Amino acid sequence: MSTLTEPVRVTTPGNPVSRSVRDSMVIAQRNLIRMSRIPEMIIYGLIQPIMFVVLFTYVFGGSMRIGGSSSAVDYKNFLMAGIFAQTVTFATASSGAGIADDMHKGLIDRFRSLPMARGAVLTGRTLADLVQTAVTLVVLAVVAVVVGWRVGSDGSTNAGKVLAAFGLLLLLGYAFTWIGALIGMSVRTPEAATSSGLIWLFPVTFISNAFVDPAHMTPWLRHVAEWNPFSATAQAARVLFANPGRSTSHAWPMEHPVWASLIYSILIIAVFRTLAVRKYRSATA
């Protein structure tokens, strides 16, 4: 006569923090290996931002005014920080869809039976997505240079500031992947995760200073754009790149965009990582 028993949970010795880091790295490696075997995931992820660069640069660039200038070159340099920020945040949808897919296939239940840190599954997934986002950002920067984007036209930037700008962009992207992780844990199918991820991303990215100067918006919409975390990172990137579009707004995030970007991203990570891990624990309890 056979009896059903609960899976045996084996605890591994060692510091809980180091164990969590080790488990997260294992999950991240697993996801990176899977991504490398499906190169179309990266290819399709590159197509959309490249299309935005081409469309906004050559279709809308001539009619856009930045700081009183209608120069297509000025708008091109203004635009790229917004395109970079949009690219890293749109990775949220794929992150949520991937986690929802793992849930749908029962992979999360398999991880549950292993002696591993509870937050490692989500942390590993978001770290793998961060690596993919970094690769996409590098390729997009090359494309931007090809179409005429330049940094430091006034000589007020350097390599350290440029790297810091890309670091802030990746930090924002990582923060937003935790929002995607929470969405992926909260829906039943990958399709629902993708749709729900894009629904809120579009207003966040377009009600901002990514593509136009908020000074031309109606007052209430301008205030929303100026306090948008997305706007803070885009503005911080422009400042560090020494690109056109320095804000004349007196809103604190626009006067101190680098600090605002750091604070926003850290707060988003702290809040949504806590919520996502809690959701993971309750979903697999």
Residue 65, pLDDT score = 64
Structural domains counted in the chain: 1
Residue 239 pLDDT > 50: yes
Average pLDDT over the chain reads 83
pLDDT in tens, 103-130: 777 777 677 667 777 778 888 889 999 9
- 7 falls in which pLDDT band (50, 70, 90)? very low
Residues 124 and 27: beta-carbon distance below 8 Å: yes
Q: How far apart are the first and last CA of the chain?
A: 28
In a domain, 9, yes or no: no
In a domain, 240, yes or no: yes
Query: C-alpha angle with apex 202: 208 to 218, nearest 5 degrees?
Result: 40
In a domain, 6, yes or no: no
Hey, how many other C-beta atoms are within 10 angstroms of the C-beta on 52? 19
User: Residue 161: which domain range?
Assistant: 16-283
Residue 8, pLDDT score = 43
Residue 158, pLDDT score = 85
Q: What is the DSSP letter of 69?
A: B
Give me the residues paired with residue 66 across strands: 69
- 283 falls in which pLDDT band (50, 70, 90)? low
In a domain, 11, yes or no: no
CA distances from 196 to 71, 84, 200, 249 (A): 37, 22, 7, 32
Query: C-alpha angle with apex 207: 146 to 260, nearest 5 degrees?
Result: 80
Q: How far apart are alpha carbons 225 and 164 in whole angstroms?
A: 23
Residues 161 and 61: beta-carbon distance below 8 Å: no
Residue 167's contacts (CB-CB under 8 Å, 6 or more residues apart) are none
In a domain, 1, yes or no: no
CB neighbour class for 114 (10 Å; exposed up to 12, middle 13-18, buried from 19): middle
**SS3 assignment, position 66:** strand
Q: How far apart are alpha carbons 242 and 162 in whole angstroms?
A: 9
Q: How far apart are alpha carbons 229 and 262 in whole angstroms?
A: 9
- 10 falls in which pLDDT band (50, 70, 90)? very low
Query: Mean pLDDT across the stretch 198-211?
Result: 89
In three state form, how does the secondary structure of 113-152 look?
CCCCCCCHHHHHHHHHHHHHHHHHHHHHHHHHHHCCCCCC
The more confident residue out of 6 and 218 is: 218
Most confident by average pLDDT, 10-24, 57-71, 217-231: 217-231
In a domain, 5, yes or no: no
In a domain, 7, yes or no: no
pLDDT in tens, 34-69: 877 777 777 777 787 888 888 877 777 666 666 555
Residue 92, pLDDT score = 83
Query: Mean pLDDT across the stretch 215-226?
Result: 91
pLDDT in tens, 148-196: 888 876 567 788 999 999 999 999 999 999 999 899 888 878 788 878 8
Residue 213, pLDDT score = 86
Residue 260 pLDDT > 60: yes
Q: Which has the closest alpha carbon to 106: 188, 32, 29, 181?
A: 188
The whole-angstrom distance between residue 109's C-alpha and the CA centroid of its chain comes to: 27
